[in-house]
Amino acid sequence: MDSIDSYIQKQALAAALINMVVNPLLAFFINRNVDTVALSGIVVDTIITSIVMTWLVAVFSATDINRQLRAGRFKDENLPQPGPILSRLPRRGVLLGTVLFICTVLVMVTLTISMFFLFDITELSVNRVALFKGIYTGPVAYVVATLAIIRQCES
């Protein structure tokens, strides 16, 4: 039987790997008929990806850990407790996913626009858009899954 720490790491890693594969493939297929994607298109894509991915990862992660907790899987363990900020967020997966996607959109759009302006990038080829999505969606999914699981562990 896995410990809670091992469970969190496995679930977060699974969310990261799935998103690092699925999101670049979607970007490639959606944009396959164009040569380049302008910064405005990348920002819109980042917003949509951040909303959908974050919400789904949060909902699925919260649902699964709640099922595990109800089944008594981690009853003899010292569960991680959310800190002062995380403990103030909603516990329900749907609402938690909504709050987390708002935060994710704000952070990712700010970072994307800043990075593109810093390096004077106005557009990317479709392959580079897919690479960009592969690079950022994994870590975001990992963090969101971890936060969603820890939020559910509050006693």
What digits encode the pLDDT tens for the residues 95-129?
999 999 999 999 999 999 999 999 999 999 999 99
Residue 47 one-letter amino acid: I
Nearest to 36 by CA among 136, 112, 135, 121: 121
pLDDT bucket at 155, cuts 50 / 70 / 90: low
**What is the distance between the alpha carbons of residues 110 and 108, in angstroms, rounded to a whole number?**
5
- Does 1 score more than 60 pLDDT? no
Give pLDDT tens digits for 87-97. Answer: 999 999 999 99
**Global confidence as pTM:** 0.95
Residues 6+ apart with CB under 8 A from 136: 108
Range of the domain at 68: 4-153
**How many structural domains compose the chain?**
1
SS (H, E, C) the chain: CCCHHHHHHHHHHHHHHHHHHHHHHHHHHHCCCCCEEEHHHHHHHHHHHHHHHHHHHHHHHHHHHHHHHHCCCCCCCCCCCCCCCHHHCCCCHHHHHHHHHHHHHHHHHHHHHHHHHHCCCCEEEHHHHHHHHHHHHHHHHHHHHHHHHHHHCCC
